[in-house]
Amino acid sequence: MSERDDLEMLVAEFVLGTLPKEERESLQARRTREPEIEALIQQWETRLAGMLDAIEPVELGPDLLARIQRTIEQQQSAPEATNPTPDNVVSLRKQVARWRWSTAVASAAALVLVAVLATQPEPEPQTQSFVAVFQHNDEQPAFLLTVDLDSRQLNIQPVTAEPKQDKSYQLWIVAEGYGPNPRSVGVMSDNFTLDQAALREYDPETLRDATFGISLEPKGGSPTGQPTGPAIHGFLYPTAANETSGQQ
């Protein structure tokens, strides 16, 4: 490991809180007089900001330090190393240092992975959203109707349509299985609102292939149960590119 790697290791363990007490105190003193170390500490704190709080401290086994010390003593007192050279001790200490560095990096990687997974939004269930446009010939649309086939919820929005005095707009549907005559879905209020659950009695396939119409009726809706004037029509088309509609 290079001197830079050694310094990075010390700083990373300092920020992660895995540095032994003596080395931590030494690095704490160095940071006040060595700008490079202070900058490295700030960089590591920025990388790990917000993630360390999510990890509860874990105490190491009570015999871990003793086992490490015994390993060092065995290395020093081994027959082939009766007079151990500094290289033997340095080599063993580097192995321990590499273990500590690997542990610190693995901990940081685990923290990053947990943070990424925790912030990933849950996939939203795909909905069958359809829209119908109501317009006269080549004029701009008068209304837009959107329908969620899964929930059979509808939403109708005026585009160029305007309120008419003593008149009401009424939504109709013509669907296979319900006869040739239009069925009233509902009468719009003065601000063009309509019960969002007005289509709850229809199954999705029926709605997908239905023809919708909007007519202008006497105040409160048609008195005959059928459109009393001309209606503008619309068909449902999928809003997503991968959807297909029964209408051609």
Structural domains of the chain, ranges and CATH numbers in brackets: 3-119 (no CATH), 129-238 (2.60.40)
Structure tokens given for 96: 């321990």
Which residue would you say has higher pLDDT here, 176 or 134?
176
Helix axes 21-31, 35-48, angle to 10 degrees: 110
Which residue would you say has higher pLDDT here, 104 or 168?
168
Provide the pLDDT for residue 248: 41
Please name the residue that has the structure tokens 């996939």: 123
Nearest to 132 by CA among 120, 146, 118: 146
Which residue would you say has higher pLDDT here, 196 or 100?
196
Q: What phi and psi values does residue 181 have, to the nearest 5 degrees?
A: -85, 145
146-164 residue pLDDT tens: 999 888 899 988 888 889 9
Q: Give the dihedral sign, CA 129/134/138/142.
A: negative
Its pTM stands at 0.46
Predicted confidence (pLDDT) at residue 59 exceeds the cutoff of 90: no
Predicted confidence (pLDDT) at residue 247 exceeds the cutoff of 50: no
**What are the Cα distances from residue 113, in Å, to 12, 117, 118?**
17, 6, 8
Provide the pLDDT for residue 239: 72
Q: Are residues 161 and 192 in contact, defined by beta-carbon separation less than 8 angstroms?
A: yes
